[in-house]
């Protein structure tokens, strides 16, 4: 089984993801990048950060040890969002970045995500090479050639400055509730939004090592919906554990997901001449209503596989500047080459202020088609692509739906499950088809 999924290496901390594995991965990454010439002519430098999980403490120590033993100078930046690590790698000219996080996964899990020089994620071929060369014998550097370990205490402030510098106006007059998921954004999100001029009410912003994503954040929206209604806020922003994405809540307590956020930003950027090539990049999981909304605005939509890395690859290949996922990963290449929940939230609030409209009003740019999503667990997801019966049933239902519906059945890239997604003009129809297909997946792949 491949170690790397769609978003790095992820699994049960100290079960699958051990300190030994973290050391081996880090050494192999340093060696592969060195062999490719990334370190030629200078001492290699890496930025290492983490989210608020207790297991991140020993895993960070393992990663730092592995990199330093391979001759890489390591700059420890502490608990910061994943996009902060990407930005700091690019800003500092570092050769490598490492983030210890399992994003929205529950606390027992953790993960290791690598960034290449410039702040982009490693491509599939490079990840495969790292995995292949793990555990190989190597010539250990000694003396002055071993890596040094430096605590970078200014990293958070530099990241906040980058975020604020992307805005063209202050956010005075906007009242926002932010749910930090007791995660990586807990220290910087409330501070950033306050400095931008907003009135900020922070919840779930006191991490203790165990409570990340625990009944809070973008996977548990009940608390922030209630807080928005209780305080009369203009909107709520819910981050996930590593804050590379966000979901929003309007003043009526309604969820505004990544498709709506992309549609709002696309309309805003189009009106200001910022939407290069009149194109936005989505994924196969984007709601059918999003595609129809973009069609109405004469905005082309390019689609990719699920995963913000694939969205970015398409954006870089064809020079597009806006893209993202329904889950709230939004990439704005005018300012960053990775999904950034804080950056997204700031620009969503700026769109609200500049338009003079509420988030609920801006959200009318698209109408969500009823969507049913069922996660089928405990199945052999690797057999999905070879099941003729499942494919036949999908084709039959899709023919019945025609252009008024859509079906997507896919194996998760980060979890052991198969996702069955159906969109239709009615919620009942979507649910019926999804349940039938989920039952078939369960019986065929068990």
C-alpha to C-alpha distance for 264 and 332, rounded to whole angstroms = 13
Are 167 and 253 contained in the same domain?
A: yes
C-alpha to C-alpha distance for 350 and 124, rounded to whole angstroms = 35
C-alpha to C-alpha distance for 345 and 340, rounded to whole angstroms = 9
Are 422 and 396 contained in the same domain?
A: yes
Residue numbers of the domain that contains 45: 4-153
Are 213 and 352 contained in the same domain?
A: yes
Burial-class residue 431 by CB neighbours within 10 Å (0-12, 13-18, 19+).
middle
Are 216 and 269 contained in the same domain?
A: yes
354 is annotated as an active-site residue: no
Are 274 and 390 contained in the same domain?
A: no
Are 131 and 55 contained in the same domain?
A: yes
Per-residue pLDDT of the chain (446 residues; tens, 9 = 90+): 579 887 899 999 999 999 999 999 999 999 998 887 778 889 999 999 999 999 999 999 999 999 999 999 999 999 999 999 999 999 999 999 999 999 999 999 999 999 999 998 888 899 999 999 898 888 889 999 999 999 999 999 999 999 999 999 999 999 999 999 999 999 999 999 999 999 999 999 999 999 999 999 999 999 999 999 999 999 999 999 999 999 999 999 999 999 999 999 999 999 999 999 999 999 988 999 999 999 999 999 999 998 888 999 999 999 999 999 999 999 999 999 999 999 999 999 999 999 999 999 999 999 999 989 999 998 999 999 899 999 999 999 999 998 889 999 999 876 779 999 999 989 999 999 999 999 999 999 98
- CATH code of residue 412: 3.30.310.50
Are 352 and 380 contained in the same domain?
A: no
- Domains identified in the chain, total number: 3
User: Per the structure block, which two tokens stand in for 158?
Assistant: 């530099």
Are 179 and 141 contained in the same domain?
A: no
* Boundary (domain end) residue, out of 343, 365, 387: 365
Query: Of the candidates 102, 4, 113, 118, which has an alpha carbon nearest to the alpha carbon of residue 51?
Result: 102
C-alpha to C-alpha distance for 20 and 1, rounded to whole angstroms = 18
Task: Rounding to the nearest 10 degrees, give the CA dihedral for residues 57, 62, 68, 71.
Answer: -150
Are 360 and 404 contained in the same domain?
A: no
* Boundary (domain end) residue, out of 365, 386, 405: 365
- CATH code of residue 349: 3.40.120.10
Q: Is the pTM of this model over 0.75?
A: yes
Are 338 and 376 contained in the same domain?
A: no
Catalytic residue among 52, 55, 103, 327: 103
244 and 308 in contact (C-beta within 8 Å)?
yes
Query: Of the candidates 118, 127, 112, which has an alpha carbon nearest to the alpha carbon of residue 94?
Result: 118
Contacts (Cβ under 8 Å, ≥6 apart) of 40: none
* Boundary (domain end) residue, out of 108, 127, 153: 153
177 and 233 in contact (C-beta within 8 Å)?
yes
Are 324 and 419 contained in the same domain?
A: no
C-alpha to C-alpha distance for 349 and 76, rounded to whole angstroms = 31
Are 122 and 212 contained in the same domain?
A: no
C-alpha to C-alpha distance for 341 and 151, rounded to whole angstroms = 25
């Amino acid at each position: 089984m491949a170690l790397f999924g769609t978003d790095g290496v992820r699994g049960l901390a100290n079960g699958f993801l051990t300190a030994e594995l973290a050391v081996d991965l880090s050494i192999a990454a340093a060696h592969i990048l060195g062999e490719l010439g990334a370190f030629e002519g200078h001492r290699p430098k890496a930025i290492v950060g983490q989210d608020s999980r207790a297991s991140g403490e020993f895993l960070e120590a393992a990663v730092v040890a592995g990199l330093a033993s391979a001759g890489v100078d390591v700059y420890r930046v502490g608990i910061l969002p994943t996009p902060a690590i990407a930005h700091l790698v690019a800003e500092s000219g570092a050769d490598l970045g490492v983030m210890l996080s399992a994003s929205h996964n529950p606390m027992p899990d953790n993960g290791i995500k690598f960034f290449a020089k410039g702040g982009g994620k490693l491509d599939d071929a490079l990840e495969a090479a790292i995995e292949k060369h793990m555990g190989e014998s190597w010539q250990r550097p000694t003396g002055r050639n071993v890596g040094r370990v430096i605590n970078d205490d200014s990293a958070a402030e530099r990241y906040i400055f980058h975020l604020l510098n992307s805005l063209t106006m202050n956010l005075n007059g906007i009242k926002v509730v932010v749910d930090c998921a007791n995660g990586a954004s807990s220290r910087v999100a409330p501070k950033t939004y306050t400095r931008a001029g907003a009135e900020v009410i922070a919840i779930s912003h006191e991490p203790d090592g165990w409570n990340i994503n625990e009944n809070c954040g973008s996977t548990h929206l009940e608390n922030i919906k209630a807080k928005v209604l209780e305080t009369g806020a203009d909107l709520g922003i819910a981050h996930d554990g590593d804050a590379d994405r966000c979901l929003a809540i309007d003043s009526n307590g309604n969820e505004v997901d990544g498709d709506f956020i992309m549609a709002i930003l696309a309309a805003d950027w189009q009106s200001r001449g910022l939407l290069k090539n009149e194109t936005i990049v989505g994924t196969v999981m984007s709601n059918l209503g999003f595609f129809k909304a973009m069609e109405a605005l004469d905005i082309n939509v390019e689609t990719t596989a699920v995963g913000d890395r694939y969205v970015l690859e398409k954006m870089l290949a064809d020079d597009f500047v806006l893209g993202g996922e329904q889950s709230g990963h939004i990439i704005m290449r005018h300012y960053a080459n990775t999904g950034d929940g804080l950056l997204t939230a700031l620009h969503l609030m700026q769109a609200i202020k500049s338009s003079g409209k509420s988030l609920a009003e801006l959200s009318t740019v698209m109408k969500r088609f009823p969507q049913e999503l069922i996660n089928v667990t405990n199945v052999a997801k690797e057999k999905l692509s070879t099941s003729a019966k499942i494919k036949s049933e999908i084709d039959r239902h899709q023919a019945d739906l025609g252009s008024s519906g859509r079906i997507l059945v896919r194996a998760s890239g980060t979890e052991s499950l198969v996702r069955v997604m159906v969109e239709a003009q009615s919620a009942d129809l979507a649910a019926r088809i999804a349940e039938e297909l989920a039952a078939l997946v369960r019986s065929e792949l068990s």
